[in-house]
Structure 1
């Protein structure tokens, strides 16, 4: 029988229950062309953050050679802009990963697919840029280390604020001691949504709902579940909400500093929040975390509305225009970093940005460009996997605290939640077969 894409999908589906999942076959089966001298990018998921993949068109060393999305309308709309040929458009990611001419993938799927898809890509020999947040469980986050350790792939986390000059300069001011010893950090990010319409509807003919669902539980199709621009970001089957999805950005700036100071993450978390458990959108939409590091440094992490309302931060009125922010408060002053720029408690502190001192952070002016450069050089990108794992665990510790109503603790040496069996069990999330095999 002649090998066609249709036959390939049938056989790989069978392999999912027989000999392993997913099946990867050489691109030569389909007559693909030899690789060019550019980094060949395959885009997996074209909507939402996938829309940003147009930035690769301005990276001289890269080219988009294929795209994948289970929503055909979205796939075609973006592929037309990116000039991806019809033969290079796929609804099934396994076809894209089977191509040997693809060097790297950009993963912008719903959150529940992030780590499983990244693992599948790594096994297929592809380097990975994965959108934030990382996993939908701490267990997934820890397993993601295999992408580098076992498969030797380059991984860039989609926290593009590390490629913004003003944020890097602000963190360098802190690292070089210009605000003294850091005692408190205030972090805030946009809150989530509640509500959502769960009304069951027919699955659109051009939408592969089974593949979109993947490792998540099977649920009745509804427009708000799948077609709402941000719907899946607020449904617990697929995410932990903006606690992780938006929180990833300002927590990433915190982690950039903490990694340089070898602080790791806090060991104790007290988090309260609001979740409408009976809504379709059933993740935290407000939250208020107080956490402690081993050296006594305190972290206060809230959604933006809560941060402005409770004003635990005495400088909040000066920073109210920042909708997501990381503020470092030291013994000599403070620095706050955000997408709009950075602020300092004194002009003398702000002026140190041009020549902060010997402690400098990696310079990246283009997040996707940095990823492409590292694919070629095999160096570690500016937003490393290890740092992503740590910052994302902070979000999960908050979610676990809200859902259990307990103060939760983290054992950094054993990398596990301690002190509560209920909290520890929440490190794990069930994955539906056969997609659970992607984590093996």
Structure 2
């Protein structure tokens, strides 16, 4: 997939951002990084961007403190009043403006960036409406719940020119992955033949009864675009009483209604690196098909779970992805080490967040990578630090220079489509074939129909 590296600032951007970007554009060159990003912003309060956090749960409270080093957090939104109050005191000493409806944040002219840390089924709707409202965004992965949502996200990004950083931090925050990609790009393992992607198994639950919705939670708004279903909760004796078996909050990812299970959870990280590795090797990473086997705790009919009272995403899987480069097989498994094995005709390496191993790695002692090898992987953009700050830092750089960030929506969706196709394969129990050129499932009308999901009345995307 090809896409421009520089993006256009739309007419409805804030005056402050427009003036800053126009100055850089008028000069005919990108403003040097050290003149535009966080150090300069820290010295001048007026130059710092204002951002809002939408979704004040686990990921929100983990990532927003990093964002605060680069921008001012001025507003919070959540449909759970306890989360909202606790997040306000934790992140902002109780001084932020708080909302239960994210649209009130999007209506504010003084907010430049939104961080979207809601459950997966809300990501695309909020992101699209944020871009249309003239906001740049940091959106947690997976970017969408369906393939067709991804098409719309990309269309609106191109239309508006907004900068969107997807929260696949492995592109920035863990140097082992960029080193692995550089090793592959330098030909140190030869031509890629096989990849094994380990992403762990899915969640398990007993029967979970429908119960009264907690007073602090607006369940209808939490469900949003997805079908109206009863709230379910059961205490898990092995965990904190507030973190039991449920179809809401932290356990939403085990329900196809709201997520794609491990395939779009860890898969959104590791498929990303795997497909970048194929591209780094100079080989074609256009997906062609996804097949294999999966096991669920419930039965399915035409891809829909028959039972509605327990976790329903795939608990185990052994899947194979084929690509336009027919020499490559990518095996997705839950019963191997979490991480990615790259196997070429001249060597192999394994990488995850804790290690990068293999003979080509050992050989770096006597034959190091070229000085610019990592820079090439990072598209020539500055990478000052190697932790979770790096991803937000890259977002600020992209906003300042109106360029695509390291984890842009276009390359993310090509990878995420593989995760969605894998989910369709698991739910139907058969191989799903894909045409990358038209971005369509081919030869299977039922599978093709699962590229989209209807939005509940009152929660359609506001265009």
Per the TM superposition, whether the score is higher than 0.5 is yes
- SS of the equivalent of 2:231 reads coil
The alpha carbon displacement at 1:58 in A equals 5.6
CA-based RMSD of the aligned residues comes to: 2.3
The alpha carbon displacement at 1:128 in A equals 1.3
The alpha carbon displacement at 1:357 in A equals 6.7
- Contact 2:137/2:163 (<8 A) preserved: yes
The alpha carbon displacement at 1:373 in A equals 2.1
Q: Mapping of 1:30-49 within 5 angstroms?
A: 36-49=46-59
1:428: which partner in 2? 452
1:217: which partner in 2? 227
1:367: which partner in 2? 391
Cα distance in 2 between the residues matched to 1:39 and 1:370? 14
- Contact 1:192/1:241 (<8 A) preserved: yes
**1:251 corresponds to which of 271, 286, 296:** 271
1:206: which partner in 2? 216
Structure 1, unaligned stretches of length 5 or more? 1-25, 27-34, 308-319
1:145: which partner in 2? 154
- Contact 1:43/1:53 (<8 A) preserved: no
Distance 1:398 1:361, change over 3 A: same
Cα distance in 1 between the residues matched to 2:407 and 2:186? 21
1:56 aligns with 2:66: yes
2:176: which partner in 1? 166
1:190 aligns with 2:214: no
Cα distance in 1 between the residues matched to 2:182 and 2:64? 30
Cα distance in 2 between the residues matched to 1:296 and 1:127? 38
Structure 2, unaligned stretches of length 5 or more? 1-13, 15-44, 234-244, 299-306
- Contact 2:191/2:344 (<8 A) preserved: yes
**1:389 corresponds to which of 413, 417, 427:** 413
**1:81 corresponds to which of 90, 110, 120:** 90
The alpha carbon displacement at 1:348 in A equals 4.6
The alpha carbon displacement at 1:346 in A equals 4.3
Cα distance in 2 between the residues matched to 1:254 and 1:232? 26
The alpha carbon displacement at 1:297 in A equals 3.3
**2:313 corresponds to which of 279, 283, 295:** 283
Q: TM-score, normalised by structure 2?
A: 0.79
- Contact 2:147/2:451 (<8 A) preserved: yes
- Contact 1:173/1:356 (<8 A) preserved: no
Deviations 1:142-178 (A, max 9, x none): 1110232112110111110111212101111001101
Query: What is the aligned length?
Result: 389
**1:333 corresponds to which of 347, 351, 355:** 347
Q: Mapping of 1:15-34 within 5 angstroms?
A: none
Q: TM-score, normalised by structure 1?
A: 0.83
- Contact 2:61/2:91 (<8 A) preserved: no
Cα distance in 1 between the residues matched to 2:269 and 2:72? 27
The alpha carbon displacement at 1:68 in A equals 0.7
Cα distance in 1 between the residues matched to 2:210 and 2:392? 38
**1:156 corresponds to which of 138, 157, 165:** 165
Deviations 1:344-375 (A, max 9, x none): 23455444554377582115431112112212
Cα distance in 2 between the residues matched to 1:50 and 1:198? 27
